[in-house]
Structure 1
Amino acid sequence: MTSVIVLQDVSHRFDSKEVLSGITLHIPKGEIFGLLGPSGSGKTTLIKLVTGLLEPTSGDVYMNGEKMPSLAQMKCYGFMAQSDALYQELSGKENLDFFASIYRLKKQEKKRRIKEVLEMVNLTEVADHPVDTYSGGMKRRLSLAAALLHEPEMIILDEPTVGIDPVLRQSIWKELNRLKDHGVTIIVTTHVMDEAEKCDRLAMLREGRIIAMNTPADLREEIGADTIEEVFLHYGGASQ
């Protein structure tokens, strides 16, 4: 199976602090790949290396066979960061219109996609309201809509459902699985155990290292655990 993302012995330092150490992994096309770990475990740094926003101190990161950072590859994914990059004075629809223009969507396609993503994240009724009137959860949903707008071949989501109610979170995961069925590769970071269970494969991070990686079912079976939380604790994932 073709690997969309390849990391080879990747490490990264900020000044004298090593935040990632010896990360090697392959992510094939059409997989939902989860990164599970507590705050400070290196999830966001790893995501920034994959997206080309950071270059590793050592090791190599490849997207579709091209070494990152690559401008050509950076056009191929949708990215939802932890911090919402939205224009507060614009409405939700105006934000999406702006991002659609950056992606160079044609007029009819832009109109169709804005309607579709607003419906997906349940923001249609407030689409014309200024973003500075949105709650934190609504802003997260709009950021997700922006990441999906141009129908990218890969979606990278950093803590996508923080502040989102359980019903809508279920709806978002339903859409992610639909996208996966259409061959879209999805990378999700989370510290929520039940979300980790929804991934096809899972890498558990602790202090910048992968402590375990497999399907959620196989990870549980390996140690006879009932939950992913038990697996995480077994491999030393508890906070110190």
Structure 2
Amino acid sequence: MSYKPAHAGSGPASNSLRILETVARFGTGTTAKEITDALRMPPATAYRLLNALVGDEYLVRTSDLRGFALGHALSGLVAAATPPTVCTAARTIIDEFRQGVRFAVHLMMFRSASLRVAEEDPDYPLHSVFELLRYPHASAAGKLMLAELGDPALALPGGQLVKVTDHTITDSGRLEEQLAEIRVAGQASEINELEEGSASLALPVQLPDGSAGAALCLTGPAERFTAISEHAEAARELTVRLKPLLF
């Protein structure tokens, strides 16, 4: 049988993606022959790419070694790209809490060393969203996540501490000291670091194993940070109520 790639000029990366798509479509146990037939790909090419995908854990071999299934690495990518889901009960108690404060209340989820907006305050929309998601060292929620990770470089673009504002921490030693304080205090804060004139306090919502899986954030004007902090204990009580609803 002669083989001709479905897309002329396809490179290794494109062919690897096509193999993953085929396994996802056919399901667990997809064989190498099914892949080569479906993609009209030479067996030598398919086997080389399959071995690489298994080595990188994007695919795993089934227990009988006859076929393939999607691996853990791909599951992590899917989880990171999927928008967080917050149940109605959780949204309801967050809304109730918002009625008792005059500041924005947002819920951020931690996904594969990155932040995701799970519940945005409709009355006080998030500003600087790109910077919030891209530079975790500049936000309270991001610092909470970095403190949980242990190695900030895992979540920083290129491992660099980008200067978002004049107040953003860009010294790695100073950041490490602050993360250590966050681990002890069980909360994180920032003033003017993500956006000039803004401040935020973040408290962790814990996973069943006790680690932080999300952050409840109170945000408002920088000059009102003391007033924001006065809601810390009530916010912490809310995180306890949120835990069984989110995880």
Q: Choose 1 or 2 for highest CA Rg.
A: 2
Name the one with the larger helix percent.
Answer: 2
Whether these two folds match at TM > 0.5 is no
TM-score (norm 1): 0.28
Pick the structure with more strand per residue.
1
TM-score of the aligned structures, taking structure 2 as reference length:
0.28
Higher relative contact order (CA 8 A, sep 6+): 1
